[in-house]
């Protein structure tokens, strides 16, 4: 049970809380009433505001719509006015631009092209909207006039600013290829930069708006003329320079002129000049002397005309390649891409045709020279042909995209030169073989025949053109015949003695048909049996020296990837040809030697020529080249030279036989000589004296140009005669066979030696 006190306290507490809650409730009721009142007031205000907005909207919207309509009307008016101004401007284009068009684009191309753009738009407008308007005809006429002015300006710019490339600049351009050090590219400005940009803009406008390709014809005609003139100027530069100074140019001259190239010149072939230098070189080594005549026109003594022409042509070919490359670079900027190849083809035609015509003239001149047997003139073909072949890859690259007829011009010229070169080589060998044996063209003193010197000098020139000559030789008929039927020809050993054996050739055709190892044909067959095109004489001549028919197959036939003759193949072909020429020369010299009635002079003649050939071979690479197919040529020549010396020495037997012991009777010392014995001794002395005087008189006029050989022959003969005469004089000099010993003993041993020392010397 709760105590009364606690219950009373608790009651009071509850009553207090109740009172507080009642007060709170009363406050909340008052607040709600105020809030309701405020809400009613706000609703009333909002209702009033909404009513007013609706009234405002009802009054503003009509005004806004009316304003919008007015703005649209204003825009339409402005657009209409703009269109009217635009249309009206087309009617004013003719009058606004007529003065500019009439004055032309010179000096103000930008403004002129702007006017042409306006005229172009006016033409398009009238064509679309008013095709019958007289204004259309007016602007069209003005447009055509403006286009013609642009074409005229294009022509004028190209004509005025296209300059011929100077020969010096061309020489710098083409000589830079041969220099080992890297040099900066030679600038080649065909047109000033500003002019070039104007030309490009005009060409693009004419292509896009003018729809006219006539300017392309103008371009290629002008540039073609400049290209042609540049090449001709280079050629003329060579001619003038060579006539004034002997050489086209010389960078080594200290006081360089403005027309002196800044780079080293290309190597010049110097074909004819080299032959002259070789002749001088051999002369200094004892190979000089008065030579016999020949029906071959001699190489020495010619002027440098052919040399200059050859150099000029070679440089012109290189110049064409470089200038054509430069022209194509220029053309790519000016001419539309789809017209570039055709325009370039037309552009280079005149210059290319000029080069080809000049090349054909060289070929024609070579053919005429062959007919005249002037083979020195044919030598000009070799450096040119070599250069054309070396340049052909660049040619082909430059001519990419041109017509087939254009691409085939250089190969056609190369073929022509190879053909005429092959003909020259073949005819030269034949002329060596067929040079006539006439007394009037034989050297009276037995010195080197001009045929020999010409043949050697000609062969010397082939050393610098081994691959070129090899290509020519490969095209000869005899080579194809040999490849067709190698079995029907004799091995080289069957012919060797023909060249370096006895002067007498007791060999029959049947002896030349010895079968050789590896032959696929019938053993012992005659050449004429299988190959009617080869005569018996031809077989003998071609097999005179060396392994004439041991020729490798053409690499063009054995390898599909081969594009040119290998160096080894060309060397072997050339070696074969040189052996053929030397063989023909050998047989001809043997035949010529028979013109001499005196066998000793014939031997001296052959000795001099063989010695000249051997020395010439040794002083050049010819001996190494001959050794490719004939290993023993040098030894055989030396043996044959010795044979001729021995033949010559036999001419002294008629002198020494008088005093040789084998023909002398035996005399007893202290026994008085009988008349018959005294007479025999007198006859021996007299015979020796007369023979010695006669031989010395005759042989003094003979010539042995080689000092070493001359001294050798003199010394050998002097030793023989002095020894024999000394023994004879010692035996009979003191014998009383005559009352006048000085009449018969005319010479001392030393005097005999002195007389022999004066042999082969007309000045002694």
Give one DSSP letter per residue of 526-565, joined into a string: -HHHH-TTS-HHHHHHHTSSS-TT--PPPHHHH-TT--S-
For the chain, what is the largest distance between any 2 Cα atoms, rounded to a whole number of angstroms? 222
- Calculate the alpha carbon distances from 328 to 220, 230, 250, 346, 548 in Å: 11, 16, 31, 12, 49
Question: What pLDDT, on the 0 to 100 scale, is given for residue 601?
Answer: 96
Q: What is the pLDDT of residue 540?
A: 35
- State the virtual CA torsion across 290, 647, 722, 719 in degrees, nearest 10: 80
- Does residue 159 carry a pLDDT above 80? yes
Reported for 141-145, long-range contacts at CB under 8 A and 24+ positions apart, including other chains, are 142/94, 142/97, 142/98, 142/101, 143/116, 143/119, 145/101, 145/102
Asked if pLDDT for residue 294 goes beyond 60, the answer is: no
Q: Is the pLDDT of residue 304 over 90?
A: no
Of residues 563 and 361, more confidently modeled = 361
Residue with the bigger pLDDT between 335 and 184: it is 335
Q: Compute the C-alpha angle 468/472/473, nearest 5°.
A: 115
3-state secondary structure of 449: strand
Is residue 561 scored above 70 in pLDDT?
A: no
What number does CATH give the domain 658-758? 1.20.1280.170
Residue 322 CA, chain-centre distance (Å), reads 13
Mean pLDDT of 699-703: 94
Residue 421 CB coordination number (10 Å) = 27
d(CA 708, CA 608): 12
Please state which of the ranges 49-58, 293-302, 688-697, 717-726 shows the lowest mean pLDDT.
293-302
pLDDT digits (tens, 9 = 90+) for 335-380: 999 999 999 999 999 999 999 999 999 999 999 999 998 888 888 8
Percent of the chain scored above 90 by pLDDT?
Answer: 47
Confidence of residue 735 (pLDDT cuts 50, 70, 90): confident
CA nearest 737: which of 659, 662, 656, 680? 680
Q: What is the pLDDT of residue 363?
A: 94
Contact 96, 118 (CB under 8 A): yes
How sure is the predictor about 547, in pLDDT bands with cuts at 50, 70 and 90? very low
Query: For the chain, which residues make up each domain, given as ranges?
Result: 12-161, 435-485+563-651, 658-758
Taking each helix axis as running N to C, give the angle between helix 450-462 and helix 271-282, from 0 to 180 degrees, rounded to the nearest 10: 130
Q: pLDDT by residue (tens digit) across 97-115? A: 888 988 889 988 999 999 9
**Which tokens go with 60?**
């503003």
Q: What is the pLDDT of residue 173?
A: 87
DSSP 464: G
pLDDT band at residue 177 under the 50/70/90 scheme: low
CA angle 536, 538, 541 (to 5 degrees): 115
Q: How far apart are CA 24 and CA 47, in angstroms?
A: 34
pLDDT band at 199 (very low <50, low <70, confident <90, very high): very high
Environment class of 270 (CB within 10 Å of its CB; exposed 0-12, middle 13-18, buried 19+): middle
- Neighbour-count burial of 316, counting CB atoms closer than 10 A to its CB (0-12 exposed, 13-18 middle, 19+ buried): buried
Per-residue confidence band for 384, with pLDDT thresholds at 50, 70 and 90: very high
Query: In whole angstroms, what is the distance from residue 674 CA to residue 632 CA?
Result: 59
User: Tokens 């006439």 — which residue?
Assistant: 438
CA dist., res. 222 & res. 331, Å (int)? 12
Instruction: Provide mean pLDDT across the span 313-325.
Output: 94
């Amino acid at each position: 049970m709760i105590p009364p006190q606690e219950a009373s306290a608790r009651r009071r507490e509850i009553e207090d809380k109740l009172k507080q809650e009642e007060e709170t409730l009363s406050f909340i009721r008052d607040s709600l009433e105020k809030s309701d009142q405020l809400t009613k007031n706000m609703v009333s205000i909002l209702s009033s505001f909404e009513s007013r907005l609706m009234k405002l909207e009802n009054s503003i919207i009509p005004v806004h719509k009316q304003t919008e309509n007015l703005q649209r009307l204003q825009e339409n008016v402005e657009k209409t006015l703009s269109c009217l101004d635009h249309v009206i401007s087309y009617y004013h284009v003719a009058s606004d631009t007529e003065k500019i068009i009439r004055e032309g684009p010179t000096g103000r191309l930008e403004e002129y092209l702007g006017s042409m753009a306006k005229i172009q738009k006016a033409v398009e407008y009238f064509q679309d909207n008013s095709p019958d308007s007289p204004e259309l005809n007016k602007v069209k006429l003005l447009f055509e006039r403006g286009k013609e002015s642009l074409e005229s300006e294009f022509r004028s710019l190209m004509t005025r600013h296209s300059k011929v490339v100077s020969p010096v600049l061309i020489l710098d351009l083409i000589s830079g290829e041969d220099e080992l050090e890297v040099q900066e590219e030679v600038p080649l400005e065909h047109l000033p930069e500003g002019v070039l940009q104007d030309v490009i803009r005009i060409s693009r406008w004419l292509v896009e708006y003018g729809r006219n390709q006539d300017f392309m014809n103008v371009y290629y005609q002008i540039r073609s003329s400049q290209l042609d003139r540049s090449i001709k100027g280079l050629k003329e530069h060579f001619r003038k320079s060579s006539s004034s100074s002997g050489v086209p140019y010389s960078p080594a001259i200290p006081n360089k002129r403005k027309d002196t190239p800044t780079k080293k010149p290309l190597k010049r072939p110097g074909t004819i000049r080299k032959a002259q230098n070789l002749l001088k070189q051999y002369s200094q080594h004892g190979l000089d002397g008065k030579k016999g005549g020949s029906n071959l026109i001699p190489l020495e003594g010619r002027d440098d005309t052919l040399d200059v022409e050859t150099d000029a042509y070679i440089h012109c070919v290189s110049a064409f390649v470089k200038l054509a490359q430069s022209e194509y670079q220029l053309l790519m900027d000016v001419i539309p891409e789809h017209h570039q190849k055709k325009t370039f083809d037309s552009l280079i035609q005149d210059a290319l045709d000029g080069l080809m015509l000049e090349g054909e003239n060289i070929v024609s001149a070579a053919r005429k020279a062959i007919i005249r047997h002037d083979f020195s003139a044919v030598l000009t073909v070799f450096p040119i042909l070599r250069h054309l072949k070396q340049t052909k890859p660049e040619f082909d690259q430059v001519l990419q995209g041109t017509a087939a007829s254009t691409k085939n011009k250089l190969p056609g010229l190369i073929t022509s030169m190879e053909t005429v070169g092959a003909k020259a080589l073949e005819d030269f060998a034949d002329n060596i073989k067929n040079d006539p044996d006439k007394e009037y063209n034989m050297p009276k003193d037995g010195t080197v025949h001009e045929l020999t010197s010409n043949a050697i000098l000609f062969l010397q020139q082939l050393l610098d053109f081994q691959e070129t000559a090899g290509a020519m030789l490969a095209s000869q008929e005899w080579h194809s015949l040999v490849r067709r039927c190698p079995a029907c020809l004799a091995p080289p050993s069957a012919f060797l003695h023909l060249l370096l054996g006895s002067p007498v050739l007791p060999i029959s055709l049947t002896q030349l048909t010895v079968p050789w190892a590896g032959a696929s044909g019938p053993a012992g067959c005659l050449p004429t049996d299988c190959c009617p095109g080869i005569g018996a004489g031809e077989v003998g001549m071609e097999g005179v020296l060396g392994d004439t028919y041991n020729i490798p197959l053409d690499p063009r036939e054995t390898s599909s990837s081969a594009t040119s003759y290998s160096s080894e193949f060309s060397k072997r072909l050339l070696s074969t040809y040189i052996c053929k020429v030397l063989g023909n020369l050998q047989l001809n010299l043997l035949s010529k030697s028979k013109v001499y009635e005196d066998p000793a002079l014939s031997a001296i003649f052959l000795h001099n020529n063989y010695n000249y050939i051997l020395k010439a071979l040794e002083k050049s690479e010819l001996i190494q080249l001959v050794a490719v197919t004939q290993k023993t040529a040098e030894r055989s020549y030396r043996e044959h030279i010795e044979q001729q010396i021995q033949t010559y020495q036999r001419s002294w037997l008629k002198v020494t036989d008088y005093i040789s012991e084998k023909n002398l009777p035996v005399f007893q010392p202290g026994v008085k000589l009988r008349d018959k014995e005294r007479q025999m001794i007198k006859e021996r002395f007299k015979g020796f004296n007369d023979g010695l005087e006669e031989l010395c008189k005759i042989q003094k006029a003979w010539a042995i140009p080689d000092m070493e050989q001359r001294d050798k022959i003199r010394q050998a003969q002097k030793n023989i005669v002095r020894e024999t005469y000394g023994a004879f004089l010692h035996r009979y000099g003191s014998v009383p066979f005559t009352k006048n010993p000085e009449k018969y003993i005319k010479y001392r041993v030393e005097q005999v030696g002195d007389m022999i020392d004066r042999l082969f010397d007309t000045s002694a």
